[in-house]
Structure 1
């Protein structure tokens, strides 16, 4: 099996944080600093070292909130070869979303854990606009938060990307109602994908996050490589222990020993979902 560092791949979840070029906004909940900073220059170096050919940048609520300027600048500097997931408020207009799409944005993030319960009820019309513009709803929830997510989604025919393996509650077990509901989301629509990312957000340290392995295996079986993508979550905000890019690729390869499956998760599914 070729080493995963040598294979072309798309990183579908990482953040640009460059407060010198793009100052943080006032009132944002968390201001990354030190080793949490991830500039465009540093990002390109990480890509070159790890065979990353394209990227899906996810707007960080930390530092920037709904100011997507740094992300849009990076997409433009990529020659429009990268894509982005924007953060917007409930007052965003159709024209503003269309402009974001023209700037390389592939979708909008709903980050349920970062807001009080019920916050995204005011976004029903935003979801409708995402459908109209053929943009992705990139949603993050954790544990039982899947039920709030399902209520928000309803029957909306929106293309859906689920962040960080759905952040399952490992202590509740693989037979929990919430995890069964997460597996059942695989049957929602053919244009629903899940990101095999963020183990450090739901599994106890240290790497290689062994307790997460059976849950990830269940997700792979339910969604199949045709509906799974990979992401690093670089530059790893608020982690209690060290996380590195290369070992995360090794972990992904352990979950995906089959060359064809790895090719789909590392590239083909992302191309279809975010670049198609």
Structure 2
């Protein structure tokens, strides 16, 4: 099968803004991998395209996986090149990447760079190296995508993020620790960032913070606060396929279904699934 959409002449224009793909035959696990992964946690681009087709999702943003590939973006770049515009990418790049290398990535469909604040293997957002990458992103209009699983790491980087002039995308609802409540410092800092900056929140991977499991009802008040702070115009959705280190069974359809509960208005859901990512990531379509 091809990686371009097979939904026919009337696809449901929508974007999954968070997925990882692998080709371990051509590109084995890289030495810069940030953490170990299991064989059943990986998925190929062809398998992912079939999932998108089944759920009538026309486009997607691929995130180079720190787990498995680290700063080796070759597989993601190959997939984007063969997708006929269906996929764009967020790269993980070293501090010393050359401007020419980064520009080549941009020309081939990379629209941002990612920092994993809670993983030592990720290039750091702090220090001279991080400042250089942020400057390169700002100069090129690239997205700065941020993931963390410990609020302390967001708080440490908060001043850097507030000063950043590039669009900032925060992954996975900021992964609040539900036992700490709405007023936990990291979540409040995230809400402040949403109210005062050019920041976008990704309504994704709630299985990573829910204590109850699907349908993640215990996360609803956090999602409500995020939508209010960031506004519907700066919310996007992502699946986090193929659900690395999930710890329990996760399926694509149930992950997508939460949007209908959080956003009762059809037009609001259309903004989150298409209009917003179309604008933010620069897709082409209807």
Aligned residue in 1 for 2:157 = 149
The CA distance in 2 between the partners of 1:203 and 1:29, in whole Å, is 24
Match of 2:35 in 1: 30
Give the one of 103, 111, 119 matched to 1:106.
111
The range that moved more, 80-89 or 58-67, is: 80-89
> What corresponds to 1:188 in structure 2?
196
Normalising to structure 1: TM-score of the pair? 0.92
Residue 280 of structure 2: aligned partner: 273
- The aligned residue for residue 264 of structure 1 is 271
Q: Which has the higher helix share?
A: 1
Provide the secondary structure at the position in 2 that maps to 1:144.
helix
1:227-262 deviation per Cα after TM superposition (whole angstroms, max 9, x unaligned): 000000000011111110000111222111110100
1:32-47 matches, cutoff 5 A: 32-47=37-52
Whether 1:93 aligns to 2:95 is no
Separation in structure 2 between the aligned mates of residue 203 and residue 260 of structure 1, nearest angstrom: 27
Task: For residue 205 of structure 1, report the CA deviation from its aligned partner.
Answer: 4.3
| Unmatched segments (≥5 aa) in structure 1 | 1-5
Q: CA RMSD in A?
A: 1.9
Q: Distance in 2 between matches of 1:250 and 1:238?
A: 21
Q: Does residue 221 of the first structure (1) align with residue 228 of the second (2)?
A: yes
Does the CA-based 8 Å contact 1:206-1:241 persist in structure 2?
A: no
Equivalent residues, number: 270
Question: What's the CA shift for 1:141?
Answer: 2.1
**Residue 79 of structure 2: aligned partner:** 74
Q: 1:150 to 1:108 in 2, by over 3 A?
A: same
2:180 to 159, 172, 175: 172
For structure 2, list consecutive stretches of 5 or more residues without a partner in the other structure: 1-10
1:151-191 C-alpha deviation (Å, 9 max, x unpaired): 332522111111100111211111222222111111333x4
| Matching residue within 16, 23, 27 for 1:18 | 23
